[in-house]
Amino acid sequence: MNVTPAIGRRAPPPSPDEAPCVELGAGGGFEPHLTFGGAGFVSRWSHPAYDYRRYDNGEMVHMNAASGWNVDAPMYATVGIGVQKRLGSHLALRADISMGFGISDYGIGCVLMPSIGLSMPIGRYPAAGNVR
């Protein structure tokens, strides 16, 4: 245990068997990273046929069934941070939080997008001793 025995004295370094639970940047621990990119939007909508009565003159109006979809290209900038834990030489578990920014007729919009996923590199992750 790394405890300072008296004020003004430095605590001794921890022994190898008292390693911290979370090691940032170490080969076997959690590795921090930054993310950036772009986000788009895909939507699909549909409604069944229905009738309604206009409130101003009482006329019945019939609406036919309809459906459609819309796609926006990835034109919204995103930035974020995260950590990853290697599970093997070809697999890592990642957790990220990204913020997307978009400009519209209503102003500037921001959205937070948390994510958890698996990452598979092209090639393999470097060995723990070769991390720079």
Residue 28: inside a domain, yes or no? Answer: yes
pLDDT in tens, 42-87: 889 999 999 999 999 999 999 999 999 988 887 888 999 999 998 8
Q: Is the pLDDT at 23 greater than 50, yes or no?
A: no
For residue 34, the enclosing domain spans 16-41+75-130
Residue 11: inside a domain, yes or no? Answer: no
Residue 36: inside a domain, yes or no? Answer: yes
Q: What is the mean pLDDT of residues 31-46?
A: 89
How high does pLDDT run on average in the chain? Answer: 79
- Domain tally, the chain: 1
Residue 110: inside a domain, yes or no? Answer: yes
Residue 57: inside a domain, yes or no? Answer: no
Residue 1: inside a domain, yes or no? Answer: no
Residue 59: inside a domain, yes or no? Answer: no
Q: Give the DSSP letter string of 53-102.
A: E-TTT--EEEE--EEEEEEEEEEEEEEEEEEEEEEETTEEEEEEEEEEEE
Q: What is the pTM of this model?
A: 0.49
What percent of the chain shows pLDDT beyond 70?
Answer: 73
